Amino acid sequence: MILALIIIGICSLANTALAYEENENLQYLIGIRSMAINGSMRLSEIDQSFGDLPSDGFRQGPHHSSLYIMRSVNRYLRMGIENLVGNSGTKNSTTMNFQGIGMVIDTIFGHKYFINGGIHAGPIILNVMSNSSGLAASNGVNAGTHYKDQGLFIAPYLGVGVRLGKFELSLITKLIEVTEGEKNNNIKAFSAQYTGVSLGYRF
């Protein structure tokens, strides 16, 4: 009986080791992030006709999502490309949206449980709209103010997570800093910190 248990234990450990080695050899990671703002976005700094957008989860407050694909350089480093799409709800007199894409460099420490962090940077296009009649229309402004600009963003992030087979699930916080725009130096008002989740699949 004892010998049988020992054999079963050895086989289980060997199977776990082989599965771990197989997963460690996976070279690519593809996934999605979904995040909501912490604090508020002070768009009134761009123009007084715009109102500030407070945190309201994924309902009316600023939030963003992104898709990414990365390739492992070594055990601790991954590199790839990630987009950035953000907006706010349209039930306010001021609404905004932005789109960006850039290179992402990710460092990771740990195995089943891990800590990761990195930096995401690239060009970004930003829009903000206000409607003098009340609600900001999703397809534009009929009577109000519209502002559009472009610049660069740099976004450091930090997360903690767990690996479930080939999947990676993590809680992540990300600070998106927007540089000076072509039209208005106050475009930095789009800068904000976000918190959310990231789900990736390794292959």
Cα–Cα distance between 20 and 5 in angstroms, integer? 22
From first to last of the 203 residues of the chain, give the pLDDT tens digit. Answer: 554 434 445 444 444 444 444 456 789 999 999 999 998 899 998 888 899 998 887 778 899 999 999 999 999 999 999 999 999 987 888 999 999 999 999 999 999 999 999 999 999 999 999 876 555 445 544 456 889 999 999 999 999 999 999 999 999 999 999 987 777 678 889 999 999 999 999 99
* Kind plus residue range of the DSSP H or E element containing 84: strand 77-87
What one-character DSSP code corresponds to residue 73?
S
**What's the confidence (pLDDT) of residue 25?**
76
First to last CA, the chain: 40
Cα–Cα distance between 172 and 117 in angstroms, integer? 9
Cα–Cα distance between 65 and 85 in angstroms, integer? 6
Q: Which domains does the chain have, with CATH numbers?
A: 27-202 (2.40.160.20)
pTM listed for this prediction: 0.81
Based on C-alpha coordinates, what's the Rg of the chain?
Answer: 22
CB–CB of 81/102 below 8 Å? yes
Tokens of 75: 């055990």
What is the residue whose two structure tokens read 């087979």? 165
